[in-house]
Structure 1
């Protein structure tokens, strides 16, 4: 049972069984992903060591939609941890602007994220990179062994493929366990010296799914028409994904926005009205946290938003703010916080979808939006066959 209060059979009847299971299964998928990464480690080290030894290496994190947001959430930590140039560029940008976004004489590791690997842009982006780069290597992280991206790169020289447990290939419309498991896999492959406490984040995610602090039920009871997610640094990518989950699962009926806390002041704050829920993913980093708490206090004192909710791992400075302090995360890194924070957003989106009478496993009423993107034509680039 989720915080919705619905038993498994009722969730199934209302078209939300897969989505609910895939949200709840994440702690188990994180443990399974960690085991997979450990088994892959000798091959990963042999593949990555000569690349990362090059000071001129460029690492490009790519994917479409949610898979793009994985890269955005990872980029700051990878930039700091690898000491190399790291950028997140969506496949949807690479297919229309590869000549501008790729630098031929800069050796590049293209890290591709794909739940199914069947979106037309997924394979096209890797082919465009190879056409435009003198030296291109691939790290493929995917959940589908039958996908076109996996089939093209598995066993291929210059490619390392991490195929995640089959259960992470979400059957529901929206990416949930696939997102968090691919993010974890990339982090553990590329930053092996920076551990992630799987037990700690799994326990926190279980409490979130069970609505231990009551914030999910309280937020759902507000009947909000707009939601803003705020996050800094890597948590900005988590805010992007949280907003997309709500849009997807409510079929656009609840309008969602993602911003950084400081950027929110520069115009986007006009989005807020009395029917708006503002959710802040509060950092555990002392410097980022000071700025974020200033913004939270400003929003609270304005009295314009319908509700402010601060999700936090540490309790300092939360007096007077609507806060849900997640147990056991006082010493967690922001990377670790991202997993239960996103679990909260996924569960909230599921509840919002059900409350509106949508079917979360297939929420698009018109069929205009699909689980795997359709209708994309990949055109040859000028001067290339």
Structure 2
């Protein structure tokens, strides 16, 4: 995707709209990501397989902001799949309080996610691990070969570079989020195991793009002041990412909240009023799904919110957006199509607010690559 090629909004000629393009390219970039992993399978398996064979190995998924939420989405599933505790700990937490998160005598694999790989905390987390843990390993999944994170990798490290198109130009991470998440799911869960599922996932994302466009337009035009995303299991992390997308793309004009289906009743439900939109991600897992549907029925019965939207792969759920062809899919595979409606809604709200989605914060208070971070020395 050359820098000279711009997507434009018909209502705002010349306005860069990388964000829309990057949302819409996700089926393609997911397929391309898996192709990259297949091509590097020998090197990846040579690095990962001996580590996963060690029962004492600790696995930490890390990143900042959206990159951290990848870990929050995947950690529950990977813990179950690998039969060990896989932890999601943000670089911002590791760097600010390493004494709570690093264990000197425990062999640790740090899986670092970075769109640009230039966030100060990303590099600092790697250096802290090397300085504070006797046996540290690094798996770097990034979209930018020139980034500091990719360039820093040395001994006991493997860098997995994703396709250039995943290095999102827009402020809000979209295709970089889904591509790095797919890469981690494939590498840690088995490239061969994920291979036959990628076409189904990509087709599900295509279906979500087609189905969610009109609802996103309608909901954006209603001008909700508050948006709540709810999800359980792997979808709690996704709800957090969805809430961030709305906050970023609206430049904070829309108040957002995220929670699990059960957790929402314990205080956060007070956010609900007539100006609140609630979006519920309904799991395929039979038990999780029961709790998701319970909160949907309760919220609709209460009638206090402006609207309750259901995103599901099950037609029987009476979903507003139903992901085609994924009724039998495992929940982590649904992460990819489920995030699409939230991305499209955030994009359209941004446009209706008169913002530039690729750079919604014109004041410069926040930046595509975080600035103003001072890294302080930590005691060994």
TM-score bin, normalised by smaller chain = over 0.9
Tell me the equivalent position of 2:287. Answer: 287
CA contact (8 A) 1:91 1:122 kept: yes
Give the TM-score taking structure 2 as reference length: 0.94
- Whole-angstrom CA distance in 2 between matches of 1:347 and 1:121: 29
Moved over 4 A (4+): none
C-alpha contact 2:200 2:326 (8 A) present in aligned 1 = yes
Change in Cα spacing, 1:116 to 1:212, as seen in structure 2 (3 Å) is closer
| Secondary structure of the structure 1 residue equivalent to 2:100 | helix
Asked if 1:325 is matched to 2:322, the reply is yes
**1:297 match:** 297
Cα shift readout 1:116-152 (whole Å, capped 9, x = no counterpart): 0111001100000111111110000000011001001
CA separation in 2, counterparts of 1:65 and 1:16?
23
2:316 and 2:300 mapped to 1: Cα distance?
17
TM-score, normalised to structure 1's length?
0.93
Q: Spell out, residue by residue over 1:332-359, the C-alpha distance to the aligned partner (whole angstroms, 9 max, x if none).
A: 2211111111111111100010011010
Aligned partners of 2:244, 2:354: CA distance in 1, in Å? 19
Residue 329 of structure 1, CA deviation: 1.7
1:357 aligns with 2:349: no
Quote the residue 1:265 is aligned against: 265
The structure 1 residue matched to 2:342, chosen from 331, 342, 345, is: 345
1:330 is displaced (CA, Å) by: 1.2
**Structure 2 CA distance for aligned equivalents of residues 232 and 344 of structure 1:** 17
Distance, in Å, in 2 between the alignment partners of 1:200 and 1:309 is 24
Residue 367 of structure 1 corresponds to: 364
Q: Deviations over 1:248-295 (max 9, x none)?
A: 011000111110111000000001100000000110111100111111
What SS is found at the alignment partner of 1:311? Answer: strand
Cα distance in 2 for partners of 1:327, 1:195 equals 19
- 1:305–1:191 distance in 2 versus 1, CA, 3 Å: same
Q: Is the 8 A contact 1:15 1:360 kept in 2?
A: no
Structure 1 runs not aligned, ≥5 long: 1-6
Pick one of 173, 183, 186 that aligns with 2:181: 183
Residue in 2 that maps onto 1:157: 155
CA contact (8 A) 1:60 1:111 kept: yes
User: 8 Å contact 2:8–2:16 — kept in the other structure?
Assistant: no
Q: Which structure 2 residues correspond to residues 45-194 of structure 1 after superposition, within 5 A?
A: 45-153=45-153, 156-192=154-190, 194=193
Number of residue pairs matched by the alignment? 372
Secondary structure of the residue aligned to 1:195 is: helix
Q: Is the 8 A contact 1:68 1:89 kept in 2?
A: yes
Give the unaligned 5+ runs of structure 2: 1-6
Q: Tell me the distance in 2 between the aligned counterparts of 1:231 and 1:169.
A: 27
**Corresponding position of 2:3:** none
Alpha-carbon distance in 2 for matches of 1:106, 1:168: 33
Tell me what 2:252 maps to. 252
Match of 1:335 in 2: 332
In the other structure, the counterpart of 2:374 is 377
Distance 2:205 2:91 in 1: 30
Matched residues in 2 for 1:362 and 1:232: separation? 31
Question: Could you say if the C-alpha distance between residues 287 and 369 of structure 1 is closer, same or farther in structure 2, counting changes exceeding 3 Å?
Answer: same
**Deviates most, 38-47 or 181-190:** 38-47
Secondary structure of 1:316's counterpart equals: helix
SS in 2 for 1:48: helix
Alpha-carbon distance, 1:12 to partner: 6.4
Q: Please tell me whether the aligned partners of residues 212 and 341 of structure 2 are also in contact (alpha carbons under 8 angstroms).
A: no
Does the aligned pair in 2 maintain the 1:213–1:324 contact within 8 Å? no
User: SS state of the match for residue 55, structure 1?
Assistant: coil
